[in-house]
Amino acid sequence: MTYRFQNPSDDILRTYLESAKTIAVVGLSDRQDTAAYQVAKFMQAMDYQIVPVNPKLAGQTILGELVYATIKAIPFEVDIVDVFRRSEFLPEVARDFLESQAKVFWAQLGLDNQEAEMILRSAGKQTIVMNRCLKVDYLDLIIKQG
């Protein structure tokens, strides 16, 4: 049987986006040609605080924000964790997510992983989004319908 993640409804996704103020972007680099950079820059322009997470660039700044090595290293509350890592790395990111106070686990378009879902659900987390683009959903659910 093929794994297929069931995302929350558009109304719930809209609630996540409307209530969020801070978005940690896992896998963000300073390469402006990447999807992670473009999405982070857009969301920052929409007045979200962006928190870059990249162990190779920890201590540097991207988009004017300090880069952290892990989600759990972020010393303040994060509303959404937007993941730009390959699907096979999602379980590792899910474990890091669980060691933080972050609220919503969001894996970008093209990314899903059954093990990561099970890790999160086993810990009681239901605020999980996979295989959806944060920017596209913001444009569709907030800008177009707002």
Range of the domain at 67: 10-143
Domain presence at residue 131: yes
Domain presence at residue 105: yes
Residue 4 pLDDT class (50, 70, 90 cuts): confident
Structure tokens at 32: 């402006």
pLDDT tens per residue, range 49-100:
999 999 999 999 999 999 999 999 999 999 999 999 999 999 999 999 999 9
Structure tokens at 146: 């707002």
Neighbouring C-alpha atoms within 13 Å toward the C-beta of 16: 27
Domain presence at residue 3: no
Domain presence at residue 4: no
Model confidence, pTM: 0.95
- The pLDDT, as a whole number, for residue 131 is 96
Domain presence at residue 1: no
Quote the mean pLDDT of the chain. Answer: 96
Domain count, the chain: 1
